[in-house]
């Protein structure tokens, strides 16, 4: 993969970028990678010893070498190839985190021969130079973007190479099958053809099971990474916005006794025991002639269909109305948590009534006016989702749609190959399907990933990483 280019620039350039967030802070870091890194450091650091030792910290002033004007005080660290993040010579300049000073330092580094790094280029170099596989590289951005503890833990495990190791082992099994198929093709023996076909099916069946085990984690993996999409729905004035505010711990949604107050969806993020939630408060569902409110109600239905969990809030102090029954029926086939709210005013709706319409629904009874009224809801959500994900903690969890797509394509090819073998087709035809599976799984770790895949992956990174 050494022929990969960055927008016309060849690998081997010395690159530089600011590695810390833009803005004021205690420290700002300029990262340099490439053969000229150390020379650039020597040009701009005062004082700088003639012999710079790797992994030592050097304190001094960063200057403009053209006029020796001091830009800022800094500590410089030199990491000699291949013992660095990119496996190239790397220098990190740690200065004060001022906007002007850190940009002036970067400009000086660029004037000394480095070029501006592309987004994700440091990590791309780490991948291309063999320090990490592509799944590990993707885990870097997942660590950076993790919004709660659970996706962070999953990303950290992937960063250690656990997923890549499992994919490599599966591909090794496929390689063994391909090698044996090649023997059969090159040295055919009619007397053992059927026996060999059966053995190939058995070997592929074992691989299929391993791929399926990874695919089985995809839904929980997406939820752990992106959050549970929770649509809070119900008629007007049943407590939807009160629940939203209680889950957020702040008054984000307007709460009044006027029906139709919420006319558009309100989306916010929250966390339950490290598990991220994406909460959507929706417009109250009812018959109305108001065109704007009708549009909001349509969006409510769209959110219900897209949600991982529909939290249906009912006024439990009143008997089920035809509108309540209609909303319950509309959520058949969805994962639903029914909240029978306002039980401080009495309990006019029984859980059995709800179960008669939605047998699979989870149900809690509470009063959201009470101080801890939303606790029953959070506890039930935790029970519904957290346990399943925690049970996978020791397994590799697939969180990437790119990985899921590659696994699905690999699975399809394995199944097709097995079907062809069972139909008595020639080994040559079956071998093509096994090869396709091998290639598809290789995309996950970057072994068979083309430029388009790499560009897509690394375009998600920020500058300096």
Residue 257 annotated in ligand binding? yes
Cα gap 465→461, rounded to integer Å: 7
Q: Is 460 one of the annotated binding-site residues? A: no
256 is in an annotated binding site: yes
Helix (H) or strand (E) holding 16: strand 15-18
Among candidate residues 32, 24, 194, 213, the one with its CA nearest the CA of residue 108: 32
SS3 340: strand
> Helix (H, G, I), strand (E, B), or coil: what is residue 308?
coil
- Angle at alpha carbon of residue 376, lines to 248 and 147, rounded to 5°: 35
Instruction: Establish whether 84 is an annotated binding residue.
Output: no
Distance of CA 5 to the CA centre of its chain: 26
8 assigned to a ligand binding site: no
**Does 205 count as an annotated binding residue?**
no
Q: Binding site annotation covers 31?
A: yes
Question: In whole angstroms, what is the distance from residue 407 CA to residue 444 CA?
Answer: 8
User: Residue 310 and residue 303: Cα distance in Å, rounded?
Assistant: 9
Whether 164 has a binding-site annotation, put simply, is no
Task: Tell me whether residue 426 is annotated as binding.
Answer: no
242 assigned binding-site residue: yes
- Is residue 282 annotated as involved in ligand binding? yes
Rounded to 5 degrees, φ, ψ at 170 are -65, -45
370 is in an annotated binding site: no
Residue 191 known to bind ligand = no
Cis preceding-peptide flag for 12 (omega within 30 of 0): no
Q: Are strands 90-97 and 69-79 parallel, antiparallel or unpaired?
A: antiparallel
Q: Any binding-site annotation on 259?
A: yes
Answer yes or no: is 239 a known binding residue: yes
283 marked among binding-site residues: yes
- How far, in Å, CA of 146 to CA of 225, rounded? 7
Is 15 annotated as contributing to ligand binding?
no
* 238 marked as binding residue: yes
Q: Is 20 annotated as a binding residue?
A: no
- Residue 399 annotated as binding? no
129 annotated ligand binder: no
CA torsion sign, 106 to 108 to 112 to 113?
Answer: positive
Whether 221 contacts 395, CB under 8 Å: no
**Residues contributing to the annotated binding site for K(+):** 237, 256, 258, 261
Give the annotated binding-site residues for Mg(2+): 241, 262
Binding-site annotation, residues for GTP: 237-242, 256-262, 281-284
Q: Which residues are annotated as a binding site?
A: 31, 92, 131, 237-242, 256-262, 281-284, 465
């Amino acid at each position: 993969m050494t022929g990969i280019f960055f927008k016309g620039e060849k690998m081997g350039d010395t690159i530089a970028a600011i590695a810390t967030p833009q803005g004021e802070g205690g420290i700002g870091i300029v990262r340099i990678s490439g053969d000229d890194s150390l020379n650039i450091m020597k040009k701009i650091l005062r004082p700088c010893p003639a012999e710079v030792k790797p992994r030592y910290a050097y304190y001094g002033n960063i200057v403009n070498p053209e006029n020796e004007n001091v830009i800022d005080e800094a500590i410089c660290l030199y990491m000699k190839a291949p013992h660095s993040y990119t496996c190239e010579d790397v220098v990190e300049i740690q200065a004060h985190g001022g906007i002007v000073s850190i940009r002036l330092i970067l400009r000086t580094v660029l004037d000394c021969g480095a070029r501006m790094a592309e987004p994700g280029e440091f990590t791309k170099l780490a991948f291309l130079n063999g320090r990490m596989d592509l799944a590990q590289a993707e885990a870097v951005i997942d660590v950076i973007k993790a919004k709660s503890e659970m996706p962070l833990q999953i990303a950290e495990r992937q960063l250690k190479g656990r997923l890549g190791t499992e994919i490599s082992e599966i591909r090794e099994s496929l390689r063994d099958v391909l090698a044996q198929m090649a023997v059969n093709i090159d040295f055919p023996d009619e007397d053992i053809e059927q026996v060999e076909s059966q053995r190939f099916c058995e070997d592929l069946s074992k691989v299929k099971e391993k791929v399926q085990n990874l695919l089985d984690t995809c839904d929980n993996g997406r939820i752990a990474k992106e959050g549970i999409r929770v649509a809070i729905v119900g008629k007007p004035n049943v407590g939807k916005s009160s629940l939203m505010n209680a889950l957020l711990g702040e008054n984000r949604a307007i709460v009044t006794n006027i029906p139709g107050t919420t006319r558009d969806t309100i989306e916010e993020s929250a966390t339950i025991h490290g598990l991220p939630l994406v909460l959507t408060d929706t417009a109250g569902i009812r018959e109305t002639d108001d065109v704007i409110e009708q549009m909001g109600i349509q969006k409510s239905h769209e959110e219900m269909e897209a949600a991982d969990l529909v939290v249906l809030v009912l006024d439990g102090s009143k008997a089920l109305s035809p509108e309540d029954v209609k909303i319950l029926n509309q959520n058949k086939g969805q994962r639903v948590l029914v909240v029978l709210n306002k039980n401080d005013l009495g309990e006019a709706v029984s859980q059995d009534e709800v179960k008669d319409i939605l047998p699979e629904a989870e149900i809690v009874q509470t009063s959201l006016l009470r101080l801890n009224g939303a606790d029953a809801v959070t506890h039930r959500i935790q029970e519904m989702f957290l346990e399943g994900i925690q049970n996978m903690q020791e397994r590799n969890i697939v969180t990437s749609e790119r990985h899921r797509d590659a696994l699905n394509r690999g699975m399809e090819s394995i199944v097709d190959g097995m079907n062809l073998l069972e139909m008595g087709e020639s080994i040559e035809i079956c071998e093509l399907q096994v090869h396709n599976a091998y290639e598809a799984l290789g995309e996950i770790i970057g072994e068979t990933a083309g430029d388009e895949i790499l560009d897509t992956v690394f375009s998600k990174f920020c500058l300096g990483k």
